[in-house]
């Protein structure tokens, strides 16, 4: 695991922890902890075990969601080829953002909350309750989870999907482990109030960003936006300064790849798609970095477009090399042999890319 992965998982864990501050989840903390205390806990260990069964239910639910999203990523990617689907996703994200801003909300039925507050539940029941926690908390945590599902579907990596949602679920479940073990600490928590609304607003802003991105992709597919001519060497910023165009690539064809592998030069192959968020981010940052642009000058550079799932030629190449997520970078030495240990899936910054290129050379 590199430093980027560590920061990603740390951020996801903190995000899951922050979900506990939403109005749908925070009031449930004290109710759930009271259920733990009625399960016959007499020691710290028994309290921890009781809470652990509940948290295990949470992690199972979200880990399954993450793996499912990754395994169906190809179908998701094919759908995203349609500008109408992109527009629909933008509308869904926008409506979810509005729910975060308080324009509407779906609450869990009162009788369900009352029943949970009175009934004594065994370890099996607590595990099932953990499995179903997403249903009761969906009005608040559903929008961020949907956004994360979209990200995992784009990567198409089941292992990544599992760990991302497992870590998020651990963040969501951590307070239950803490207060289930030390139940008397629950009294120190501030009472639910208007301060939680600002947490919703924060998630609402993030979802507005997702909505805007997919809306931009949709109208871009229809070529509504005017295209500005770009010079072969550079483009112009609003201030009039020259901006680097970025790394130049050859579009993949079997003949292009065969010629590159037989050229006596190392080869870099980038599998990408127009709907892939990390791909867009790399184009805007990594591939415009001066150091990365210098490092790839000795390489033959080939782009393989997986935007269209019906492009059998490109999809066959992805299958041949076992590409499971995008963006994926393959590196070949001057003899045409792949450096499998250097293969990269997901976003990488310019520093990591340069390190890989130097290792291949």
Strand 267-272, strand 250-251: pairing:
unpaired
pTM: 0.52
Token look-up 């499995």 returns 131
Residue 348 has what DSSP assignment? -
Tokens of 229: 């001519």
The 10s digit of each residue's pLDDT in 211-269 is 887 787 777 655 454 444 433 334 433 334 444 578 999 999 999 999 999 999 999 99
| pLDDT tens sequence across 281-298 | 888 889 999 999 999 999
- Asked if residues 164 and 15 have their Cβ atoms less than 8 Å apart, the reply is no
Residue 90, C-beta contacts closer than 8 angstroms, at least 6 positions apart: 210, 211, 212, 213, 214, 215, 218
In the beta sheet, which residues pair with residue 242? 236
Specify the 3-state DSSP secondary structure of 89.
helix
Q: What is the token pair recorded at 195?
A: 């301060």
pLDDT in tens, 57-102: 889 988 988 888 888 765 655 565 667 777 887 887 788 778 777 7
| Distance set, CA 157 to CA 70, 101, 331 (Å) | 5, 33, 20
By C-alpha distance, which of 285, 288, 281, 270 is closest to 356? 270
Give the integer Cα–Cα distance in Å for 171 and 178: 11
User: Can you list the domains of the chain with their CATH numbers?
Assistant: 3-221 (no CATH), 245-360 (3.40.30.10)
Q: Mean per-residue pLDDT for 304-330?
A: 86
């Amino acid at each position: 695991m590199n430093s980027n992965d560590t920061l990603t998982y740390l951020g996801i864990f903190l995000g899951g922890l922050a979900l506990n501050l939403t109005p749908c989840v925070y009031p449930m903390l004290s109710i759930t902890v009271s259920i733990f205390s009625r399960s016959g806990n007499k020691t710290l260990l028994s309290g921890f075990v009781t809470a652990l069964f509940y948290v295990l239910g949470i992690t199972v639910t979200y880990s399954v969601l993450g793996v499912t999203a990754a395994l169906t990523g190809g179908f998701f990617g094919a759908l995203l080829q349609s500008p109408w689907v992109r527009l629909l996703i933008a509308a869904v994200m926008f409506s979810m953002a509005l729910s975060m801003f308080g324009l509407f909300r779906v609450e869990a039925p009162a009788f369900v909350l009352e029943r949970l507050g009175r009934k004594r539940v065994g370890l099996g029941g607590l595990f099932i309750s953990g499995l179903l926690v997403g249903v009761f908390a969906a009005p608040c945590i559903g929008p961020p989870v949907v956004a994360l599902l979209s990200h995992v579907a784009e990567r198409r990596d089941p292992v990544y999907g599992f760990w991302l949602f497992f870590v998020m679920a651990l963040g969501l479940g951590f307070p239950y482990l803490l207060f289930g073990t030390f139940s008397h600490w629950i009294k120190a928590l501030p009472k639910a109030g208007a301060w939680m609304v600002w947490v919703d607003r924060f998630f609402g802003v993030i979802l507005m960003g997702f909505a805007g991105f997919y809306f931009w992709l949709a109208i871009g597919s229809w070529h509504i936006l005017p295209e500005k001519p770009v010079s072969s060497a550079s483009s112009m910023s609003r201030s009039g300064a020259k901006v680097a165009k970025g790394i130049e690539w050859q579009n993949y064809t079997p003949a292009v790849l065969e010629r590159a592998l037989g050229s006596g030069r190392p080869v870099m192959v980038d599998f990408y798609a127009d709907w892939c968020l990390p791909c867009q981010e790399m184009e805007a940052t990594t591939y415009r970095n001066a150091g990365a642009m210098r490092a790839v000058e000795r390489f033959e550079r080939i782009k393989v477009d997986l935007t269209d799932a019906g492009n059998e030629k490109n999809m066959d190449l992805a299958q041949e090399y076992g590409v499971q997520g995008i963006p994926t970078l393959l590196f070949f030495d001057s003899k045409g042999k792949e450096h499998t240990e250097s293969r990269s899936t997901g976003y990488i910054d310019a520093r990591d890319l340069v390190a890989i290129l130097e290792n291949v050379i």
